[in-house]
Every structure is written in structure tokens, then in C-alpha cells.
Amino acid sequence: MTLDSYSLREGFPGLSRQVAGRQAAYLDAPGGTQVHESVIEAMAGYLRAGGSNLGGAFATSELSERVVAEARSAMADLFGSGDPRTIVFGQNMTSLTFAVSRALARDWRPGDRIVVTRLDHDANVAPWRLAAAEREAVVDEWDIDPETTRLEVERLMPLLGDRTRLLAVTHSSNAFGTVVDLAAAVRAAHEVGALVYVDAVHFAPHGLLDMTGTGADFMVASAYKFYGPHIGVLCGRLEHLERLTAYKVRPAPNEPPDKWETGTQSFESLAGATAAVDYLASLGGEGSRRERLISAMELVDQHESFLGRRFLSGISRMKGVRLFGVDSMEGRVPTFAIDLAGKSPAEVAGELGRRGVFVWSGNYYAWEPMHRMGLEERGGLVRIGFVHINTAEEVDRVLDELSSL
């Protein structure tokens, strides 16, 4: 069984956009994917039905209660936690991480240590640095191999000790596509009693999220990266969500997951997030939603690996183009950071955009790796990303355009 990306694309209205008389090529998925038609309909359907806030003894409030419950159930399946009580919604991943960082840091003492990486998006670095500074904790850096952009567990081990309280680590790099050996990192951190907070935003559209298999304590993602609306979602182990003190207003519920959510949620976005998970599950085979998600992400990986190998093969034959990071599809997702000799990343992205090929340039908030590798001063890199609705023709098209530049 394989994915038919051509037929799947019919469910994404945004893909019909034309630029300069040609269909646009969306290779900007690392910054956010297009939204599936079912997501649009779910969000509009909630709004048409006339929703209301929670807690009312009337039909529209009961509708919102159902929407929230369905969204928690869907996300519990997506993360593999199996328990809707482990799911917390927020404005975005960054806001959720700041909230959890404040809660965890309440227990830190001067001289305690936390570990951040030099591969992560800054949303999984800056909140922890700020919290550590307030509690006089020490920040240790898990460094990357600048040649491969990998985080080797051997480099993590010397940083861990009996005062280590937290490891904050990405599932895969939003800049280079590098996938981290998450299970090994979690085991190492747990051996010294540290908690592990995982940024899975970039990995979510490419692979199966698995709280149980990885052993992570917290894992966070954003629905707009897997074909849904702009909403953040956190999956935390229930024991932590129950034990920790959340920053909230006084009348709010004091039991998880509600105690972790501030203000009124975007119920239409929750309806859309459920539809996004159901769309992904529809790509798989038979069984429960979790079982269908498992088979779906296997098919997604197969198709994306095919696209990635095609891109890497073309880049390897191109003079004046340098690829940063892993040069095969082993240990990476199909997100590629490149440099064109004699042209700034902004110039390349601008010219490709005018030709209808959408890519990113800059640092994409991957502040740590860009500075570690001396790339920030020159404007970062060009980032090209593929997902399961991209085609071989789009790979060839961007290769042709890069060659002409």
C-alpha cells in the first residue's frame, strides 16, 4: 500500500493557488502546512451551529463541551498517551512551554541544573533559560556535531548528574531535519532523576508521536504543522499534571487537564484539530484511530523518504550548492537547509517565490544551531521542506529552479 499524493491534494483547497501562471509549489511546510478541507468544514460547522462557553445548562454550551472532549480524545490518540486527561490546549507551543517552565521551576533551587540543546527551536530553549535565571539554576548545553547536525547521546552523558532537573530536547530539528534518538536521551535523563520535555512540533507531520514508547514526561506540538488550525497542544504525564502548580485564575478548575488551560479556548480550533487527526488517521488501514495513525505514519514516511532521496540525489550533482546536515534519509525528515554560492538566502527565497516555489530563508527561530555554526551573520540558510502531499514533480521543479539560479 502506498499514498497517492495526487488524489490527496484534491482535499487541500490552498494548493490551487497560481503564481505567474503556474500552480504554486508549497515547499514551506516546516513553517506550517496547508489545511485539509475537512478541517475547514469542522471549524465552520462549529461556528455555524452557534457555540457557547463551557459550563452552561443549555445546548450550545453542551456542544462546546463535546468539542473539547472529542479534541482531547483525538490528541490522546495522536500522542499515544491513551488518556484524554493528559492533553492540554493552548495558544501555541511557545505559550504552553512558558507556562510549564514556570510551574517546573518553582521546585528548582540555586545550583540545580537543566540541559538544553544547540539544535532546538528557541521556543524550547529561551523559556528554560529564563526560568533557570530566576531560580539561579545552571544551564548546560548539549552540543551538536556541526558536520552532521546530530545530537549524540555520548555528548549528553557528561552533562547529567544528581542535580540535573530537566532535559529540554527536540524530536527533530526544524532547521536541518535531523531526528534525535529520543528514547536513548530520555533513558539517560531518567537515570539521574531528570524530567524530559520534548518539542515535537517539527516531527509531528512526519512520524508517529509516542509518549509511551519514548518515555517522555512532556511532549508538545502545534496543529498547524499537521494540516490543522493554529493551536498548541501539550501531552503530559498525568502524575506531573496533577502534582505541579499551574499559574491560573482562582475560580478555574484545579484538576488536570483543565487547571492548565487559561481563559476561553478557541472551540472552533479544537474542532479543526480533531478533524486534522482524523484526516491523518484516514490515510491508514483498519482498526482504532491510534492503530490507523500508526499505519498512516508508516505510509507517510515511505512517501516522504522517496521525495527526500530524490531531492538529495539532485542536490548532490549540483555545483555551487551546499547541504547542511545529514546527507541521506537515515536519521532525518525531508527538511533541507542549503546554501547557494554567491547568493544570500533571502535572495534565493525571494526569487523562488516569484517563480511560484515557496521556501523559507533565515534562522526560522533555530537560534542556537545557526549561531553555533556561524550562519546567523550571513542570513541563515534556505530551507526546503516536503510533506506527504508533495510530489516528485515538485521535487524536480525546485531542483530545476535552483540549478537555474
pLDDT digits (tens, 9 = 90+) for 10-25: 999 999 999 989 999 9
Whether the per-residue pLDDT at 313 is higher than 90: the answer is: yes
Where do we find the cell 552533562?
159
205-234 average pLDDT score: 98
The residue among 92, 75, 97, 93 whose CA lies nearest residue 84 is 75
State the first-to-last Cα distance of the chain, in angstroms, to the nearest integer. Answer: 38
Q: So what's the pLDDT on residue 128? A: 98
pLDDT band at residue 250 using 50, 70 and 90 as cut-offs: confident
Contact 96, 220 (CB under 8 A): yes
Task: Please give the grid coordinates belonging to residue 8.
Answer: 490527496
Give just the sign of the alpha carbon dihedral 114, 119, 121, 126: positive
Q: So what's the pLDDT on residue 1? A: 79
This prediction has a pTM of 0.97
CATH of region 42-281 = 3.40.640.10
Cα 380 to chain centroid, rounded: 20
Whether the per-residue pLDDT at 58 is higher than 90: the answer is: yes
Residues of the chain with CATH 3.40.640.10: 42-281
Mean pLDDT score of the chain: 97
Residues of the chain with CATH 3.90.1150.10: 5-36+289-404
140-162 average pLDDT score: 97
> What's the CA gap between 41 and 37, in Å, rounded?
6
Question: For 5-36+289-404, which CATH superfamily applies?
Answer: Aspartate Aminotransferase, domain 1 (3.90.1150.10)
> What's the CA gap between 192 and 162, in Å, rounded?
6
In 360-389, which positions are buried (b, 16+ CB within 10 angstroms) versus exposed (e)?
Answer: bbbbbbbbbbbebbebeeebbbbbbbbbbb
pLDDT band at residue 252 using 50, 70 and 90 as cut-offs: confident
Q: So what's the pLDDT on residue 253? A: 86
> What's the CA gap between 345 and 78, in Å, rounded?
35
